[in-house]
Amino acid sequence: MNKNKNLIILCIPIVFLIICMGISIGSSSINILDTANILLNKMLNIPLRDNINPKDISIIWTIRFPRVLLAFMVGGCLSVSGAVVQSILKNELASPYTLGVSSGASLGAGLVIVLGISIPFLGGFTLPIVGFLFGLLTVYLVVVFSAKIDKNMSNNTIILAGMVFSLFLHALLTTMTALFSEDIKSITLWQMGSFSMKGWSYVKALIPFLTIGMIGVLKYNREMDILTFGEEQAKAVGVDTTKIKKRLFIFSTTLTGAAVSLSGIIGFVDLIAPHIVRRIFGSKHSYVIPMSFIFGGCLMVITDLISRTIISPAELPVGAITALIGAPFFAYVYFNSKKGR
């Protein structure tokens, strides 16, 4: 336990360093010490050094910092959701997307793009909000459907129901893009994921969902620890497994749906981060959940940095970078677990 606490303390300066790197490196590179000084000045009112360019202050605080902060928050949301779903389903290859969140959000975004929907009081947030609601609705239907055909909501039933709904919604989206071929590029780019041109308004929009989702998940740390021993053992000590699963799925979907709707579909972070965190910190969820958020956030900042610098001044979709990293990792986890069995 002391080892874990020491590692958590060590993570704090590392996180700050990664965020500063993500902000400093770009089309116009800025000294990392200047970046740290500007951030500390804005957040803690520490005096600025004399040689700092006022233009750099504007670039960092207005353009790069909100982008990097949004990437960190999205990566954290996806990773925590992944940790929760893997714990509930007792499957290290499961993810929130298994429940159909991405398919639902994609269909909602596709409808907004194709039909040109714009809700007056939402404005530019019409697409992310509709995507979030469709993702949330999809998971709700998966949970209700699973409960109807299996009162115990066994893990296999939930996974199969999620796959069925995902395939069905994906088929609807494919049909829609075939009928409205002129909108294929817009839908595809949204699905690939990006943090480009997303400022403080997106960060503020994510904060309420992040807060609700994290508080809800952390509330059930003990129950998730018990569920890892199996549903029968959990029921024996008085845990209502069906109710706990439903609530955790809702909080997990709140995190994933909000992240997906604001950034697009970015895969594999929710698989990689929880797996590595469990290897380092063990299976106790009081460590797994917060450290998954931190590790996933840092991983997303790094992948976003790669996506916007590898072919600068152009950008690659973040989802493409995470897939290039995540696909081999997925194969390693699968074959390693199969070899272990």
**pLDDT digit string (tens) for 220-272?**
999 898 888 777 788 888 888 888 888 998 899 889 888 888 888 888 888 88
Distance CA 294, CA 18 (A): 11
Structural domain including 322 reads 2-340
Token duo for residue 244: 């706990």
At residue 93, φ and ψ (nearest 5 deg) are: -100, 0
Residue 124 confidence (pLDDT): 67
CA dist 335 and 341 (Å) reads 10
CA proximity to 302, closest of 68, 82, 76, 77:
68
Q: Which of 192, 324, 184, 203 is nearest to 264 (CA)?
A: 192
To the nearest 10 degrees (0 to 180), the angle between helices 241-263 and 126-149 is: 160
pLDDT given for residue 132 in this prediction: 85
* Contact by Cβ (8 Å): 259, 78: yes
Gap between the Cα atoms of 171 and 168, Å rounded:
5
Angle between helix 101-115 and 184-192 (nearest 10): 150
Round to whole Å and give the CA distance between 331 and 326.
9
Q: Which CATH number do you get for residue 120?
A: 1.10.3470.10
Could you give the angle at which helices 155-179 and 126-149 cross, rounded to 10 degrees? 140
Q: What is the DSSP string of 127-146?
A: HHHHHHHHHHHHHHHHHHHH
In order, the DSSP letters of 156-223 are HHHHHHHHHHHHHHHHHHHHHHHHTGGGHHHHHHHHH---TT--HHHHHHHHHHHHHHHHHHHHTHHH
pLDDT recorded at residue 338:
58
Rounded-to-10 torsion of CA 113, 117, 119, 122: 10
d(CA 162, CA 32): 44
Please say whether the beta carbons of 86 and 296 come within 8 A.
Answer: no
Mind listing the pLDDT tens digit of every residue in the chain (341 residues)?
567 777 878 888 899 999 999 999 877 788 888 898 999 888 888 888 888 888 888 889 998 999 999 999 999 999 999 999 988 888 777 888 888 888 888 888 888 888 877 777 777 678 778 888 888 899 889 988 988 888 877 888 888 899 999 999 989 988 888 887 777 777 777 777 889 888 898 898 889 889 999 999 999 999 898 888 777 788 888 888 888 888 998 899 889 888 888 888 888 888 889 988 998 888 889 999 999 999 999 999 999 999 988 887 788 889 888 888 877 877 777 677 655 55
**Could you give the number of structural domains in the chain?**
1
Name the phi and psi angles at 286, rounded to 5.
-65, -20
Contact between 72 and 301 under an 8 Å Cβ cutoff? The reply is yes
Q: Looking at residue 77, what is its pLDDT? A: 94
Task: Locate 222 and state its tokens.
Answer: 């003990």
Calculate ∠ Cα 160-162-166, nearest 5°: 120
pTM over 0.85: yes
Q: What are phi and psi of 136, to 5 degrees?
A: -65, -40
DSSP string, 39-51: HHHHHH-PPPPTT
Residues 276, 292: contact at Cβ < 8 Å? no
